[in-house]
Amino acid sequence: MATQKPTSAAGSQSDPVRVQLRLYVSGNAPNSVRAIANAKTICAEHFDARCDLEIVDLIAQPLRALADEVIVTPTLIKFLPLPVQRIVGNLSDTSQVLLALADA
Amino acid sequence: MTHTEERQVTELTQRLAEAEATIAALLSGEIDAVVDAGTQTPVLLAKAQDALRLERDRAQRYLNAPDIILLAVGLDGRITLVNRYACSILGWTADELMGRDWVDTCLPVRIRDDMKAKLHDLTAGEFTVLENPILTKSGDERLIGWRNTVLHDDEGNVTGVLSSGSDITESREVETTLQKTTADLRDHTKLLEEHAAALLKNEDRTTYALRAARMGLWELDMATGELTWSPTMAPLFGLRSDQAPTTAEEFFRLVHADDRRMVETSFGQAAAAGSDFKEEFRVVWPDGHAHWMSASARMTGGREGKAEHWVGVNTDIGERKALEAQFRQAQKMEAVGQLAGGVAHDFNNLLTSILGYSGFVIDTFGPQDRRRADMDEVIKAGQRAAGLTRQLLAFSRKQVLQPTRLDLNALVTGMHQMLSRLIGEHVELVPSLAADLSAVRADPGQLEQVLMNLVVNARDAMPSGGRLTIHTANIELDQSFAHDVVIRPGPYVMLSVSDTGVGMTDATKSRLFEPFFTTKDAGKGTGLGLATVYGIVKQSGGYVWVYSELGKGTSFEVHLPRADESREPVNPAVVVDHAAAVGTETVLIVEDEDAVRLLTRRVLEEANYRVFDAPNPQQAEAVFEANPNVFSLLVTDVIMPGSTGPKLFAELVRRQPNLKVLYVSGYTDTAIIDGGQIDPAIDLLQKPFSANALKRRVREVLDGE
């Protein structure tokens, strides 16, 4: 998982095999706090520097849910590498999350 | 199935999986907020009060819909809910009304005793529709038509009545108004009632989500055998919640007889192995219809490997199953089309030489020669075979279409007389054409074929007479038009042909468009008519639908995309008289099929042309090189070993810019054609061709711009 794969033509142009993630949370609700911690750990341990993790707090920025059709929090969306994938929940099941991100 | 259709199936499947994952996360408590679709604000689930308030706000918005009175009354006759419109009619504020006795406050004195008795009957579900006068604060009376729904709490006890009403004072004179109003009301208030009723019952969000996803939850206690359903399950089986099964055995009885053993066995194996249970099967509703469903379940609380408790999710997968069935059908049609196209291509070469040489032979017999009649029969048979081949090519969508901007009304009108003769006197032909019909982009000859095939079929469905309607209209297709079929949304023009004939069975309907499928007596139909329609319509970017009811009739609807306004038709080429179709120019013929090449050569030589020929592009280039600047025209096949006609022409015209070209082809070749639609500016002669057609086209191209 942590090993570098060759660049695919569909991936980011600037940097090979970038992982672009966005995590939607609701303030410091328990599952949201857990999801933030889990997402950061997964990024650091498995993708280190090539992972962009953006955290969106819907209580502060409610309208952003609209753009990505988020209906519950926490929701993690993987935009790159394609295909786009959504993972709902507090991301405690690391193996499940890594499976969903497997193409990275 | 097209690439787009495949992608849509994939997306649908993915969305289903995401919905399942979301429900699972909701149930396991991993969700802490739900985004309200109206305000886009996250509602924290921990604060149930907030959720409730939000639900109330949402319901309030529905409650405030104009023109509909919403009113809830408790068992004690006191008002528990009243909307803004009701207040505006009654002249009281909501605060003044809440908690007051409905009958004593808002009804005329003379009917109060009667209505108090009726309220009791209402809560027993006696009256669903009712009309009575009400008394406003200022003392006026208004007549209101009501529709009533009994409200229950979670235990199923009656808690009151929810009534939706509309003011019918003004329209009272007309006897039918109440019926119409109540019918309209039923449509308009169904949603309102659902939300209002949900509010009053404090239905929770999970149930909302499950219902929207058409999912239900169940639990099975293995020790007691007791089965429990969530409230969202029963509707998936067409049942009321009080009809829900209470044991696994009762549940299995709801499964379709053909699937029951499989489901029981699979469930038994999962229970024995302690593994998850996952199956797709049909369930039978009380009305006898089968519905597809998927079930996934997991055991919990097992002790010594023995299952004690199952928790499962069932999902209505009817939509997905319909897509899968459509996918299989599309694949089958595609395969048959490939086969038909391949056969037709070879046939065209054979028919070209049969018809061509027969033409030479017949000219050698005198007018009284008996062999002339024999030869005529050979030619007729060849022409019939050519007609069949054309239809096969149309079905396999390998036919060359020459689309132009086309007015379907003009097409129908132009064919009216011919169609009338075709259907005979016992059938009445009724055109119903939209005045403002948009144009389509299609091949006129092919659409005439489509209309004729549909009309002939309609006629044959009405052996003892009837009415045949040809209808045109502009329509908009969106995904909701047919939720079980993948379509490209947008503006379309519809052409429909309906009969009042015998109709058809589902079995017939499912095979309708297959080539060689016919319900007509042997010798009466080729089974290619509707296959041709299907092929032409598909290749023109359209859809064809069929609606039929046994004994009542059948209707075929063809939907073609509206033409792009900006694209104008290309003018047709010069038309040439047969007799004048001769010339002295020099022509180079390139054709890999020997019989066709020699025939082409002979026809053109007899028309006085000077002719060279080559069996492939390489030799053609050599001939061209050896005879510089003598050729006026290149007549070439499109696909040949090693190269293509267009490539050859590009090479030769580079050396001699005034060279002209006529392509000869048996089917759609991607070399010159995009998506089976040829640019009308390209000159193309379709195989099999007659000697006259060849001479005429050669002359046209030589004389053209």
Counting Cα atoms < 13 Å in the Cβ hemisphere of A58 gives 32
Supply the pLDDT for residue B3: 64
Comparing B327 with B431, the larger pLDDT belongs to B431
Of B362, B380, B381, nearest in space to B371 by CA: B362
Contact flag B30-A90 (C-beta cutoff 8 Å): yes
Distance CA B114, CA B663 (A): 89
pLDDT band at B622 (very low <50, low <70, confident <90, very high): very high
Supply the pLDDT for residue B114: 85
pLDDT band at B146 (very low <50, low <70, confident <90, very high): confident
Contact flag A71-B33 (C-beta cutoff 8 Å): no
In chain A, which residues have their Cβ closer than 8 Å to the Cβ of B33? Answer: 26, 29, 32, 58, 72-73
Of A26, A87, A92, the CB nearest to B32: A26
Supply the pLDDT for residue B47: 47
B11 touching chain A per CB within 8 A: no
**Once rounded to an integer, what is the mean pLDDT over residues B219-239?**
87
A81 touching chain B per CB within 8 A: no
- Pairs of CB atoms within 8 A across A/B: 69
Residue linked to tokens 């004179």: B173
**Cβ-contact A5, A64 below 8 angstroms:** no
Pairing between β-strand B404-406 and β-strand B440-442 as defined by DSSP bridges: antiparallel
Supply the pLDDT for residue B247: 92
**Cβ-contact A61, B40 below 8 angstroms:** no
Supply the pLDDT for residue A11: 38
Comparing B435 with B62, the larger pLDDT belongs to B435
pLDDT 10s digits, B483-512: 445 567 788 999 999 999 888 887 777 777
Supply the pLDDT for residue B625: 92
Neighbouring C-beta atoms of residue B481, cutoff 10 Å: 15
A71 touching chain B per CB within 8 A: yes
In chain A, which residues have their Cβ closer than 8 Å to the Cβ of B21? Answer: 86-89
Residue B678 in this model has a pLDDT that exceeds 80: no
Dihedral sign computed on CA atoms, order B667, B672, B673, B679: negative
Distance CA B473, CA B470 (A): 10
Residue B552 in this model has a pLDDT that exceeds 80: yes
Rounded to a whole number of angstroms, the distance from the CA of B647 to the nearest CA of chain A is 32
Contact flag A87-B26 (C-beta cutoff 8 Å): no
Supply the pLDDT for residue B525: 54
A interface test, pick of B13, B18, B32 with most A CB neighbours within 10 Å: B32
B10 touching chain A per CB within 8 A: no
Of A58, A72, A92, the CB nearest to B22: A72
B580 touching chain A per CB within 8 A: no
Among B108-112, B449-453, B601-605, the least confident range: B449-453
pLDDT band at B443 (very low <50, low <70, confident <90, very high): confident
pLDDT band at B609 (very low <50, low <70, confident <90, very high): very high
Neighbouring C-beta atoms of residue B202, cutoff 10 Å: 12
3-state SS track over B92-141: CCHHHHCCCEHHHHHCCHHHHHHHHHHHHHHHCCCCCEEEEEEECCCCCE
Q: What is the DSSP letter of A4?
A: P
SS3 label, residue B573: coil
**Once rounded to an integer, what is the mean pLDDT over residues B620-642?**
88
B605 touching chain A per CB within 8 A: no
Contact flag A31-B31 (C-beta cutoff 8 Å): yes
Supply the pLDDT for residue A2: 36
Of B152, B82, B86, B150, nearest in space to B119 by CA: B150
In chain A, which residues have their Cβ closer than 8 Å to the Cβ of B44? Answer: 26-27, 29
Among B358-362, B558-562, B610-614, the least confident range: B358-362
User: pLDDT averaged over chain B?
Assistant: 77
A23 touching chain B per CB within 8 A: no
pLDDT 10s digits, B564-581: 765 444 333 334 455 567
Residue of B nearest to A29 (CA): B32
**Once rounded to an integer, what is the mean pLDDT over residues B131-139?**
88
Of B572, B613, B567, nearest in space to B594 by CA: B613
Of A29, A62, A88, the CB nearest to B21: A88
Hey, which residues 304-323 in chain B have their CB within 8 Å of chain A? none
Contact flag A32-B32 (C-beta cutoff 8 Å): yes
Q: B461: exposed, middle or buried (C-beta count within 10 Å: 0-12, 13-18, 19+)?
A: buried
Supply the pLDDT for residue A14: 45
Residue B343 in this model has a pLDDT that exceeds 90: no
pLDDT 10s digits, B92-117: 888 888 889 999 999 998 888 888 88
SS3 label, residue B37: coil
Residue B1 in this model has a pLDDT that exceeds 70: no
Q: Write b or e for each residue in B491-527: b if 16 or more Cβ atoms lie within 10 A of its Cβ, otherwise e.
A: ebbbbbbbbbbbbbeeeeeeebbbbeebbeeeeebbe
Among B141-155, B473-487, B522-536, B586-600, the least confident range: B473-487
**Cβ-contact B514, B532 below 8 angstroms:** no
Distance CA B266, CA A12 (A): 46
Q: Write b or e for each residue in B592-612: b if 16 or more Cβ atoms lie within 10 A of its Cβ, otherwise e.
A: bbeebbbbbbbbbeebebebb
Supply the pLDDT for residue B207: 65
A12 touching chain B per CB within 8 A: no
Supply the pLDDT for residue A71: 76
Supply the pLDDT for residue B601: 92
**Once rounded to an integer, what is the mean pLDDT over residues B118-138?**
77
| Long-range own/partner contacts, residues B536-540 (CB < 8 A, 24 or more apart) | B536/B394, B536/B399, B536/B401, B536/B443, B536/B446, B536/B447, B536/B449, B536/B450, B537/B450, B538/B397, B539/B394, B539/B397, B539/B399, B539/B401, B539/B676, B539/B677, B540/B401, B540/B403, B540/B440, B540/B441, B540/B442, B540/B443, B540/B446, B540/B447
pLDDT 10s digits, A14-70: 445 788 899 999 888 888 888 998 888 888 888 777 888 899 988 788 777 777 777
Q: Could you give phi then psi for residue B396, rounded to 5 degrees?
A: -80, 5
Indicate yes or no: pTM above 0.90: no
**Once rounded to an integer, what is the mean pLDDT over residues B69-78?**
84
Supply the pLDDT for residue B523: 47
**Once rounded to an integer, what is the mean pLDDT over residues B325-330?**
66
